[in-house]
Amino acid sequence: MLAIFDVEGVLLDAEFLPILAEKINKQDEIWEITRKGIEGVIDWEEGLRTRINTLKGISYETCKEVADSLPIMTGAKEACGALKAAGWKLLAISGGFSIMTDRLKVELGLDYVFSNELVFKDGKLDGVKVHVDADKSKSAMIKVKEWKEKKKDTVVVVDGANDVKLFDICGLGVAFRAQDIVKDLATVTLEEKDLSLLIGIINKHYGTKLQLQTFA
């Protein structure tokens, strides 16, 4: 059994680049490009590179500080804990960056994370290495094949239009506080801001009895 998660807006209750942009008063500019990318109005990778170019020169320390400050989504630890305890594989796929996903891998017990990489030159943001493009299912399939996971045993939890191709490779597609296009294509919609409710959805769909983990 495999659960695949988007990161920003799903495992993390924040978007990294708009918050980073606030540090240099370019948040409106960044949100506009972000919105167009999420809605599919502009090419996703082009939008990503445009945003990074807009933020060039910000220090590594500032980027790390913002990345470390992003709050984990309500219920994410509980949901991931319940799935791990039941022997599930956990995969996250982010159009964001390793600077923010590295700690998630540890804190949520994720088996693998695909993400992009910020490039720094002399301690300043200088560009981006793109490993995850607009079709996140291409990244996902690398691990699906390696782990020999079946489509019917795969759950996908996403929120953005740029994530919907992941629904093609799963048996249960969950739209988490998502855009309308995502809701239209999902098996189930979860509107409440609590990822632990995913466990009830999985139990209902698969007839399983996963138990939620409690964290102090």
Domains of the chain: 2-13+72-206 (3.40.50.1000), 16-69 (1.10.150)
Phi and psi for 40 in degrees, rounded to 5? 80, 15
Per-residue pLDDT at 42 exceeds 90: no
Contacts with 25 (C-beta within 8 Å, 6 or more apart), sequence order: none
CA terminus-to-terminus distance, the chain: 27
Distance CA 143, CA 90 (A): 10
Tell me the pTM: 0.93
Q: What is the mean pLDDT of residues 53-61?
A: 96
Q: What is the mean pLDDT of residues 177-182?
A: 92
* Tokens 């804190």, residue located: 107
What is the DSSP-derived secondary structure letter of residue 187?
S
Distance set, CA 42 to CA 49, 91, 123, 134, 161 (Å): 12, 27, 30, 11, 12
Distance CA 142, CA 162 (A): 18
Distance CA 65, CA 20 (A): 9
Per-residue pLDDT at 4 exceeds 80: yes
Per-residue pLDDT at 35 exceeds 90: no
pLDDT in tens, 144-171: 999 999 999 999 999 988 899 999 999 9
Phi and psi for 8 in degrees, rounded to 5? -70, 125
Q: What is the mean pLDDT of residues 92-104?
A: 95
Q: What is the mean pLDDT of residues 53-75?
A: 96
Calculate the average pLDDT of the chain.
93
Per-residue pLDDT at 70 exceeds 90: yes
The larger pLDDT score, comparing residue 39 to residue 215, is at 39
Distance CA 132, CA 95 (A): 6
Contacts with 144 (C-beta within 8 Å, 6 or more apart), sequence order: 2, 154, 169
Per-residue pLDDT at 58 exceeds 70: yes
As given in the structure block, the two tokens for residue 85 are 């305890």
Distance CA 208, CA 12 (A): 26
Q: What is the mean pLDDT of residues 139-147?
A: 95
Per-residue pLDDT at 40 exceeds 90: no
Alpha carbons within 13 angstroms on the beta-carbon side of residue 151 total: 6
Q: What is the mean pLDDT of residues 6-24?
A: 95
Distance set, CA 91 to CA 42, 71, 121, 168, 216 (Å): 27, 19, 30, 16, 24
pLDDT at 38: 67
pLDDT at 92: 98
Least confident of 17-21, 116-120, 138-142, 210-214: 210-214
Q: What is the mean pLDDT of residues 88-108?
A: 96
Distance CA 116, CA 129 (A): 6
